[in-house]
Amino acid sequence: ELKVEQNPLFLSMQEGKNYTIYCNYSTTSDRLYWYRQDPGKSLESLFVLLSNGAVKQEGRLMASLDTKARLSTLHITAAVHDLSATYFCAVLSGTYKYIFGTGTRLKVLA
Amino acid sequence: NAGVTQTPKFQVLKTGQSMTLQCAQDMNHEYMSWYRQDPGMGLRLIHYSVGAGITDQGEVPNGYNVSRSTTEDFPLRLLSAAPSQTSVYFCASSYSGVVGSTDTQYFGPGTRLTVL
């Protein structure tokens, strides 16, 4: 059974600092997703990572995937307050089942 | 496009009552799914569908039924509500869900359900 773990669960950081969120999963998978959720809102897709070594960047966020280590990272560069949200990774289990991590609640302090 | 829509936004039920959460999408997506979100547990897959007439169970299917008679609609039925079903429910859809594609899921706004 595929398990997905994120750490840290909570992250409070200063504006302008860099940090990384980690997503580990327990069995082989072909796809990994990152989503963002603002408080009381729905989920918004950030990245889809398909292959080993895949790297995608959007603004201050960069996601990478190491399928051999079963690890994805979401790196935040020079954080700004607008990045405060909860970030989820999700991994495809088998053909159609998506397993989500527990989420990382990020708070960026001015 | 309206995207993925869900109704109602909020609902309070008494234990034992039944109800249907509605989900619709206008993007001609084949894949649709239902999740529940509980504090500290992320999202857990309840049921999913890969096309009209085809449904399957996710991680936490007990107490829920689904059907998919059209591409657009994917209702979730609570047969006999229990307090443990108090949660926020999200419906999502994607073009195909096929392995190797770059499809991502689009999520609806959610339904906040309380069972007393």
Which of B5, B35, B43 should one mutate to test binding to chain A, selecting the residue with the greatest count of A CBs within 10 A? B43
Interface of A with B in 23-62 (CB under 8 A): 30-31, 33, 41-45, 48, 50
Question: Per-residue pLDDT tens for B90-99?
Answer: 999 998 755 5
pLDDT given for residue B46 in this prediction: 97
B46 to chain A: which residues are within 8 Å by CB? none
A30 to chain B: which residues are within 8 Å by CB? 99-100
A51 to chain B: which residues are within 8 Å by CB? none
How close is the nearest chain B Cα to the Cα of A106, in Å? 14
pLDDT given for residue A50 in this prediction: 86
pLDDT given for residue B102 in this prediction: 64
Question: Per-residue pLDDT tens for B32-89?
Answer: 999 999 988 889 999 999 999 999 999 999 999 999 999 999 999 999 999 999 999 9
A40: phi > 0 → left, psi -120 to 50 → alpha, else beta; which? left
pLDDT given for residue A94 in this prediction: 82
CA distances from A87 to A6, A90, A108, B88 (A): 9, 10, 13, 17
Interface contacts (A, B; CB < 8 Å): 57
pLDDT category at A9 given cuts 50, 70, 90 is: very high
Partner B contacted by A100 (CB < 8 A): yes
Q: Which of B2-6, B24-28, B93-97 has the lowest mean pLDDT?
A: B93-97
How close is the nearest chain B Cα to the Cα of A42, in Å? 5
Residues B27 and B2: beta-carbon distance below 8 Å: no
Q: CB-side exposure of B48: number of CA atoms within 13 Å?
A: 23
pLDDT given for residue B2 in this prediction: 84
Per the listing, tokens 């289990």 go with: A93
